[in-house]
A and B are shown apart, each in its own frame.
Chain A
Amino acid sequence: AQSVTQLDSQVPVFEEAPVELRCNYSSSVSVYLFWYVQYPNQGLQLLLKYLSGSTLVKGINGFEAEFNKSQTSFHLRKPSVHISDTAEYFCAVSGVNNYGQNFVFGPGTRLSVLP
């Protein structure tokens, strides 16, 4: 079975500071990894994804993530955050089960950018 851990439930950071949101996953098979962002009372928006190839993945809004197979991690980073980055961030892993696609989300990390 697949699972996703996001160790930090809340991350406060000052505007223009760097930030890292941590994500670890467990899976016995190859997986695909994703980061989503959710603003209040809205659906989830895809930030970036790792399917294969380069382990450093760049996404929208200046975010990037690095896939580390040995540490089973997929941490999200941004070198300089803005107030508008305040939101909930979800890490997710996808694979295949007997029925079709299996998609598992982490519990989320609330990023609060302070002025």
Chain B
Amino acid sequence: DGGITQSPKYLFRKEGQNVTLSCEQNLNHDAMYWYRQDPGQGLRLIYYSQIVNDFQKGDIAEGYSVSREKKESFPLTVTSAQKNPTAFYLCASSNFPVSYEQYFGPGTRLTVT
């Protein structure tokens, strides 16, 4: 089955620690995205990448970092500089410019205490 996997589903960390969220896709999509979702709120774009070895900051990139060394992988690191990291994190990909819809992974819920 083709799709997007995110691991783990739930992640717990102590304040001050960096943590990396995994996102892998086997859809052969060039474009990948990271979103943050807080309770009762919509999606806010953290970073996106349209091609390997290139990525751009989204609306709320401060305190986060990414890499895109392989087409199928787009890991997100939540650093200790992120003031309020507890949230639900969603990874997505699209086959832009062939098609425009985004496909989403199941999400990772990060809790930092």
Chain A positions near chain B (C-beta within 8 angstroms): 32, 34, 36, 41-46, 49, 51, 90, 92, 94, 96, 99-101, 103, 105-108
Q: Give the residue name and chain of the A residue nearest to B96 (CB).
A: A101
In contact, A32 and B100 (Cβ under 8 angstroms) = yes
| Chain B interface bracket (under 10, 10 to 19, 20 to 34, 35 or more) | 20 to 34
Q: How far is the CB of B2 from chain A (nearest CB, A)?
A: 14
- B18 vs chain A, min Cβ distance (A): 24
A36 to B104, CA, bound (A): 10
Contact of A99 among B50, B88, B92 (CB under 8 A): B50
Check A44–B104 contact: CB distance below 8 A.
Answer: yes
CB-based A-B contact count at 8 angstroms: 62
Which residues of chain A are within 8 angstroms of B104 by Cβ–Cβ distance? 36, 43-45
Q: Which B residues lie within 8 Å of A51 (CB)?
A: 100
| Segment of B60-68, B74-82, B105-113 engaged in the interface with chain A | B105-113
Residues of A near B90 (CB, < 8 A) are 43-44
The answer on a CB contact under 8 Å between A42 and B103 is no
